[in-house]
Amino acid sequence: MSDPFIGSEAIAAGDLDKSALRRRYTRLFPDVYVPASAEPTAQDLARAGWLWSGRKAVIAGRSAAALHGAQWIDADLPVDLLHQNRNRIPGIVVRGDRLGDNEVQLLNGMPVTTPLRTALDLACWYRRHTALASLDALARATSIDPADVLLLADQYSGRRGIRAARTNLSLVDGGSQSPKETWLRLLLIDAGLPRPRTQIPICDEFGKEIAYLDMGWDDIMVAVEYDGEQHRIDRWQYAWDSRRREMLERLGWIVVRVLAGDRPADIIDRVRAAIARRASLQGHGRRSA
């Protein structure tokens, strides 16, 4: 057995005895186990939490997002369940929010909130940056339209967190490819800069798409990109980044590169300087003409 399972059921079926269960398996939640060698994913933990509920709960929140294919859902996060049993269990958060009949679907035999309902819960339950990181990942995985989620929100006008949820949903962008890109996009918006477009396609002289920029403004050809650790330690990635940077400069783009550890205020100053530089270059071009 590699998937999470209920220990008492395995013993009753004769698949294991109590001694083997203790020696070879790790308990995730009361009476729910996985092999001792396993490294449970967020999806595994979602199933384990559902089993703990006696197969009665609905998987929701970030756990549902993971089952819908959203990336960047950390396996260390608590499992989100909608369930009547509100007993506190380490590693599980149980909520009693109302559910509509059309807001649950079966995934791998488990009841899971639909992508739209999952998005609404994420927007209501979590603080802005946490919510947007998961919402962006869910939008990328499922192509949900935030406008449809806002329509669903209209059915829950008195729900706790619904006002913040509407603001969160207005900022969802499935073009973000990591929580850091979500963070960077929100930093730019909060600084009063125009909302950047994400995943900007770059074409060669024949109109073929050859690259994508993380985010930026097409009209002024200024982009902002987040370079993760891989960009510095992977030699192939580093070489490609260098060639890509040269190509973008030849095409006339100004690219601000952000690294882990960069101070937010410095990032904003650099972006503003790049935009001012573009304005100056455009002004000089008009005067020359």
Taking only the tens place, the pLDDT of each residue in 71-103 is 999 999 999 999 988 788 999 999 999 999 899
Instruction: Please report the pLDDT score of residue 144 as a whole number.
Output: 94
Separation CA 79–CA 49 (nearest Å): 6
Q: Pick from 169, 193, 220: which residue ends a domain?
A: 169
Q: Domain check: are 54 and 144 in the same one?
A: yes
What distance lies between CA 130 and its chain's CA centroid? 9
Distance CA 281, CA 201 (A): 23
Residue 258 has φ and ψ, to the nearest 5°, of: -110, 130
3 occurs within a structural domain: no
22 within domain boundaries: no
Residue 68 domain flag: yes
Domain boundary (115, 149, 169) is at: 169
For residue 272, being part of any structural domain is answered with: yes
Global pTM reads: 0.89
159 and 199, same domain (yes or no): no
Asked whether the predicted pLDDT for residue 118 surpasses 80, the reply is yes
Rounded to the nearest 5°, which phi and psi values hold at 279? -60, -40
CATH number, domain of 262, equals: 3.40.960
In a domain, 265, yes or no: yes
Residue 260: strand pairing partners: none
**Same domain for 60 and 164?**
yes
- Domain final position from 169, 187, 211: 169
Answer for the pair 125, 65: CB distance below 8 angstroms, yes or no: no
How would you write 193-227 as a 3-class SS string?
CCCCEEEEEEECCCCCEEEEEEEEECCCCEEEEEE
Which of 84-88, 241-245, 253-257, 279-283 shows the lowest mean pLDDT across its residues?
A: 279-283
For residues 180 and 226, the answer to whether their CB atoms sit within 8 Å is yes
Q: Are residues 58 and 139 in the same domain?
A: yes
Count of domains forming the chain: 2
Q: What is the pLDDT of residue 286?
A: 55
| Domain region containing 242 | 179-288
Rounded-to-integer distance, Cα 268 and Cα 264, Å: 6
Cα Rg for the chain, rounded, in angstroms? 23
Structure confidence by residue, pLDDT tens digits, 215-234: 999 999 999 999 876 555 56
If asked whether residues 160 and 269 sit together in one domain, one would say no
Tell me, yes or no, whether 31 lies in a domain. no
